[in-house]
Amino acid sequence: MSHVPPSLPADGRPWVYLASQSPRRRALLEQWGVTCVPLLPDASEDAEALEGVLPGETPLAYVRRVTRLKLRAAEARRRQRGWPPGVVLCADTTVADGGDILGKPADAADATRLLQRLSGRRHQVLTAIALAWAGREALAVSRSTVSFKPLSAEEIDAYVATGEPFGKAGAYGIQGLAGLWVRRIQGSYTGIMGLPAYETAELLRRAGLRLL
């Protein structure tokens, strides 16, 4: 597949190559004044293969490793396409219950199982963000705790029926209807959404981009 070089901002505004399909990450970056140039995998790339969990891997080790792999794949993609140098941004969000990694649900039954597990309890959300620029890399991790209210079977079924759990770690998105269940968070709300504001700003500053 041929790729036409992207049209890059020419007015001095900060911009990044965003190697993520998440509309939430793109919306947050644009809210912060950063223009996003999509740098997404080709159909020939098996991006999901990067997300496999290694035996005995902790949630923190997992999210750091997977985000680095995604970043390096994205930077290789940029070079292969012959696109101009720029800051490449990747992120990955992992939901953890103790030492167990709760990934994206495979189907409605799996989403129901995950939500039943989170019901009435606290869990961890880890989001890693990584940047590549000028031959350098940097990575940071945001850790937050989310407390859910006890969920009835009817509430879980109704939520799963909306389709919102699919494609999301832990089978929920805090920015959507599941936010109605959150009794308390400790940490970064934007990190739970998928892109922690503070860590992102700090890494972009290191790469030479200032948001304010």
- Report, as residue numbers or ranges, the catalytic residues: 92
Give the C-alpha separation, 121 to 116, whole Å. Answer: 10
Residue 17 CB-half CA count within 13 A: 27
DSSP letter for each residue of 40-88 = PPPTTS-GGGGGPPPTT--HHHHHHHHHHHHHHHHHHHHHHHTPPP--E
Give the C-alpha separation, 112 to 159, whole Å. Answer: 9
What three-state secondary structure class fits 197? helix
Give the C-alpha separation, 126 to 141, whole Å. Answer: 7
| CB distance 48 to 119 below 8 Å | no
| Phi, psi of 166, deg, nearest 5 | -80, 140
* Token pair recorded at residue 30: 């644009």
* Token pair recorded at residue 140: 């940071």
Pairing type for strands 35-38 and 15-18 reads parallel
